Amino acid sequence: MSANTGPAPSGRPIEKRSAAFLLLFALAHLGGVFGYLPLLSLLLPIKVQAMAGDARLGLFTLCMVTGGIASSASNILFGWLSDRSVRQGNGRRRWIAAGIVASAAALFAVAEAARPIPLVLSVMAVQIAVNLLLAPLIAIMADEIPDSQKGLTGALLSLAFPLAAGGAALMMDLTSLNGATRLAVAALALAICTAPFLATRSRKTSDALPPIEERAMLRRDLGVAWASRILMQVANNVLSTYLFYYFESVASSASPEQLAARVGHVLTIAFLLPVPVTLLIGRLSDRMHRRKPFLLAMAALAVAGLVVMALAEDPRIGAVAYFTYSIGSQAFLALHGAFAMQLLPSPEHRGRDLGLLNLTNTLPALLGPVLTWQLASPHNFTAALLALAGLAALGGLLVLGVRGRR
């Protein structure tokens, strides 16, 4: 049953999307996340450790930095190209289909890489291919889902991370699988999750341009929101990519395979815990038409978790602190995505503008590893985590600087 959410430029009401559409959209996003999260969080660290030994942090950082550059550029490019497709009447879904094929090929290349340079290049290829899928997909959220459902949709998208982390942990538990087989499973999961969305039909919510004065304010607000998100995402990037090494620094001796399995379980729990909180605040913020109070509360929770992680000397305390951080940061980022989409100044450039906003997800892949390289060692992450806590606190406070939306 549809609901009227306000007049469209043509005078027709903007209808809410069905629950089935929202779930298929969230499932497609899960597919995209499965294309990179198991690789970057668990499978790549193990492959790098086997390949580089004591030089693993250097090779791993190189993979993350070059992959971050490739991800940043490709997301903007494919967002812009999908904008052109929309203007030509072809839509964005064909780009998603191409991303499915390209991601499978890139994951196969990672599995085949036996030396550092091919490994770095294949990780870059994965980042490009996944963004070929995700850039047009996220633009569809701005195109086709009304503002009154964006908070809930953002919360549904956050389900991708616990589910992908759970899948990664399951793959690590199945010791009969080798690295190549695990990457093949990731590619298959990506295709199975994403393909059903290609059968849905496009339906735009509105093509109306805001008034000139409002567009100017929205551009400024989008810049503030951009800065807020990138500061929070630096911490998120460091922890999602270096979590294996963090727990190695505080845990008792364990083999890399054992530690990877434990970290996989921690990731699964840490991604599951934010789900009810994110769904609740997403729905409440839709109903109250206010997102700032929830964003500030979640930022404070994330900062508290980072500080305790920095001071922890026991892996159990570190895990609880990471759970606390994860609840705050994941809820913040999910709600912030809906918040930022309401600040887009032009419907004609949503893919491009979201690609620029996506730099807040990918630039931390450049900033985070550099910060970690300077402040952390394989046996001590305290200074790095305290620095991340300060950046996250500033990111939360910057939300107050947005004037055009509450």
Residue 10's pLDDT is what?
A: 38
Handedness of CA 267, 45, 120, 108 (dihedral sign): negative
Task: Kindly tell me the burial class for residue 49, based on how many C-beta atoms sit within 10 Å of its own C-beta (0-12, 13-18, 19 or more).
Answer: buried
> Are residues 119 and 51 in contact, defined by beta-carbon separation less than 8 angstroms?
yes
Residue 163's pLDDT is what?
A: 84
Reduce the secondary structure of 335-354 to three states and give it as a string.
HHHHHHHCCCCCHHHHHHHH
Question: Whose CA is closest to 283, among 142, 136, 158, 139?
Answer: 158
Residue 154's pLDDT is what?
A: 81
Residue 254's pLDDT is what?
A: 65
- Bridge-partner residues for 4, per DSSP? 15
Query: What is the per-residue burial (b if ≥16 Cβ within 10 Å, else e) of 170-186?
Result: bbbeeeeeebeebbbbb
Residue 353's pLDDT is what?
A: 77
Q: What is the dihedral of CA 307, 310, 313, 317, to 10 degrees?
A: 40
What's 40's DSSP letter? I
| Mean pLDDT per 10-residue interval, the chain, length 406 residues | 37 68 94 89 83 77 85 89 85 92 93 88 94 92 81 83 80 77 90 93 64 61 83 83 77 69 80 85 81 89 92 85 92 84 68 77 71 69 86 89 67
Domains defined along the chain, listed by start: 17-199+209-401 (1.20.1250.20)
- Bridge-partner residues for 377, per DSSP? 380
- Tally of CA atoms within 13 A in the half-sphere of 27 that contains its CB: 17
Residue 215's pLDDT is what?
A: 56
Radius of gyration of the chain (CA): 20
With H, G, I as helix, E, B as strand and everything else as coil, classify residue 14: strand
In terms of DSSP H, where are the helices of 289-381?
A: 292-311, 315-341, 350-357, 359-362, 364-375
pLDDT in tens, 294-351: 999 999 999 999 999 988 878 888 889 999 999 999 889 888 887 877 777 666 667 7
Question: Is 0.75 topped by the overall pTM?
Answer: no
Q: E-assigned strands of 3-86?
A: 4-7, 13-15
Which pair of tokens denotes residue 406?
């509450």
Residue 127's pLDDT is what?
A: 93
Residue 22's pLDDT is what?
A: 92
Whole-angstrom CA distances from 158 to 25, 81, 84, 99, 186 are: 12, 26, 28, 21, 18
Residue 346's pLDDT is what?
A: 63
Which pair of tokens denotes residue 196?
């059903």
